[in-house]
Structure 1
Amino acid sequence: MILVTGATGILGRVIVLQLLKQGKSVVAAKRKSSNIEEVKDSYKFYTDSPDAFFDRIKWVDVDFDDTFSLENALRGIEEVYHCAATVSFHPADQRRMYHTNIEGTRNLLYACEGSQVKKFCFVSSIAVLDGVNEKDETDENSDYNQKLDHSAYAVSKHFSEMEVWRAAAEGLNTVIVNPGIIIGSGNWTQSSGMLFANLAKPYTFSGGASYVDVRDVAKASIELMDNNVFNERFIVISENKRYAEVASYVRQKMGLSGPKIIPSVLLTVGRVLNFVFGWLFSPLRMVDKVNKESVTSMSNVSNDKIVKTLGFKFIPVNESIDFHLENYRTDKKSKKE
């Protein structure tokens, strides 16, 4: 049996589906308040038999602060894909993110110690990686630098990884995957599910990011576990692209004009306003030093390791956008009718 946490998230749901397609038995962890009907609806984008696959899922409510709840979810489980996390770049969410991401991961790993779990895949982020190699690329050896400023999300993922490495040192077979921005379908109002809504806006930033299709992240995670590749981390990204390039492509597909790049000087003004009025106007707190740097800079992130290890072939970013954007537009249209 396999447990997938965060199974209602944009990635967790696809990992669940791909495992089911392999004929495996899956327990899907969720919050009591999670909308599993939305997950069921999104499966129509990934399979011709959404109901049949969805009906094979065993759902379980999990409270990561409750040891009994975790032990109950892990009963009979031999493999875990830990996708559950809070994703936010708003400073106000820092405490909640640290609690969910760090303490939740720690508690889950402690619960694994007294269980039958033999394999553990942790979904992290490229946000934890600092520095470049001799090719001026960020790779798996680009260790987190505590002397640099990081977003609260990156900090939470770094310390979550520390918990995974601790468990690995104590004998648990673990693997960490570090995706870039995930392009997927469904969950349109949360996390990376908001990608198309954000890209449809008439403005963008001068920097860039690394993108990857949700199907590739799920496939890579499962292949690493199936091939028993443990005690290592793997960057999972398809391509590095400028925000303006991606936004222009999406807006063109939507029949909209190209986006305007927000000048860096305007973001600097925003930082000053944040310092003066951030306590009063919550949105201004987003314009801090770390967020400003993240949207105005671009790193060249390498996927060489997973390509060489698994012979992995990634879906090109534009092809991924075509597929998921069509799903996004179809879903939005059907909900209006």
Structure 2
Amino acid sequence: MILVTGGTGLVGSHLLYKLVSENVQVKAIYRRTHTLERVKHVFSYYTENHKELYDKIEWIEANLNDVPSLELAFKDIDYVYHCAAFVSFEPNKYYQLRNINIEGTANIVNLSISNNIKKLCYISSIAAIGNEPNPDQLITEQTEWNPEADNSVYAITKYGAEMEIWRGTQEGIPAVIINPGIILGPGYWKGGSSGNLFRLIHKGLKYYAPGSTGYVDVWDVCDIMFKLMQSDIINERYILISKNLSFSEFQKKIAQTLQVKPAKKEASPFILEIGWRLDWLISKLFGKRRKLSKQMAKSVRTKTIYDNSKIKDALQIEFNSIDNAIDKVSKYYLKDITKP
């Protein structure tokens, strides 16, 4: 039997759909009951018998930091997909990020060891991959992480979580790590998911960031995870990127599919520097959540290009087109917002 943590998230819900469609016995962890409706909604995108497929999942209410509830979830489990994570770039959320991303992953690793799990797949992020000083240099799985750099709190904790996975491999648990870029997929239009970008662009943006990054769709991510877990590959990590795009080009593509006007003005380094300082001041004065940290302002003006050749060679695959992914996600978004 398979266990999926973070089953109510973007990747987790799509992974669950794939697994039950393959007639795999699966358990999934959830924390809040109302989030289960999101999974049902995602299933409804792809099939008319979504309730029948959803009912195949054995749901376990558990928390990554509640070991007794996790022990119940791990009963009779052979394989684990660890998708659960807390996504935030707010500096004041550092200890919460550590608690969930690092300590929670340590608990998953420890229980995998004690339950003799056959294989563990961990969803990390390109945020946990090192950066190249030369923007024209491809970033690979071997690019060195610099702990002295001004990394975001999210990146620090995802890197720390990876260290827990590697510890598990040293203690006998075969594992694979994937490092996806920005994951495009439907059903999650708010919060830290990429769906929020579609919502914001549809509402109208004035500025676009000058940098670039890598993108991949959720269907590729789930297919690759499934193939890696079925393969003999162990103790490797893989960058999952379909295409490297500038933020300008990315938001133009979405605006076109949503039939709205794209942002016309580039947010200059000066604007971004002023922006994160104002954001900090507003947070201090009025207690509002941070929207733009110093590290994020630096990240969105940085041009990064990622190499996806390792996973393509390992599995002999090609990625889906990002243009097609944007088109699909946009159609689901428009369908959702027009529902009565």
Normalised by the shorter chain, which TM-score bucket?
over 0.9
Q: Structure 2 vs 1, CA of residues 51 and 154 (structure 1 numbering), >3 Å: closer, same or farther?
A: same
Distance 1:79 1:26 in 2: 10
Indicate if the aligned counterparts of 1:91 and 1:286 stay in contact, CA closer than 8 A. Answer: no
**Identity in percent:** 35
Indicate the residue corresponding to 2:263 in structure 1: 259
**Residue 221, structure 1, aligned to residue 225, structure 2:** yes
Q: Structure 2 vs 1, CA of residues 204 and 108 (structure 1 numbering), >3 Å: closer, same or farther?
A: same
What TM-score do you get using the length of structure 1 for normalisation?
Answer: 0.94
**Matched residue of 2:284: which SS?**
coil
Indicate the residue corresponding to 2:198 in structure 1: 196
Indicate the residue corresponding to 1:93 in structure 2: 93
Deviation at 1:184, TM superposition (A): 0.6
Deviation at 1:251, TM superposition (A): 1.2
Residues 127-146 of structure 1 aligned to structure 2 (within 5 Å): 127-132=127-132, 136-146=137-147
**Matched residue of 2:8: which SS?**
coil
Indicate if the aligned counterparts of 1:133 and 1:139 stay in contact, CA closer than 8 A. Answer: no
Q: Structure 2 vs 1, CA of residues 61 and 131 (structure 1 numbering), >3 Å: closer, same or farther?
A: same
Deviation at 1:286, TM superposition (A): 4.0
Contiguous gaps of at least 5 residues in structure 2: none
Deviation at 1:56, TM superposition (A): 0.8
Indicate the residue corresponding to 2:309 in structure 1: 304
Contiguous gaps of at least 5 residues in structure 1: none
Deviation at 1:290, TM superposition (A): 1.1
Indicate the residue corresponding to 2:9 in structure 1: 9
Question: What is the total number of aligned residue pairs between the two structures?
Answer: 335
**Residue 279, structure 1, aligned to residue 284, structure 2:** yes
Indicate the residue corresponding to 1:150 in structure 2: 151
CA deviations 1:260-279 (Å, max 9, x no partner) are 32222111222443565552
Distance 1:153 1:37 in 2: 27
Extract structure 1 runs of 4+ deviating beyond 3 A. 131-135, 271-278, 281-288
The amino acid that maps onto 2:92 is: A
Indicate if the aligned counterparts of 2:201 and 2:262 stay in contact, CA closer than 8 A. Answer: no
Indicate the residue corresponding to 2:122 in structure 1: 122
**Matched residue of 1:11: which SS?**
helix
Indicate the residue corresponding to 1:329 in structure 2: 334
Indicate the residue corresponding to 1:250 in structure 2: 254
Distance 1:282 1:316 in 2: 41
**Residue 318, structure 1, aligned to residue 320, structure 2:** no
Deviation at 1:177, TM superposition (A): 0.4
Query: Which stretch of structure 1 is more off in the superposition, 255-264 or 95-104?
Result: 255-264
What TM-score do you get using the length of structure 2 for normalisation?
Answer: 0.93
Q: Structure 2 vs 1, CA of residues 70 and 284 (structure 1 numbering), >3 Å: closer, same or farther?
A: closer
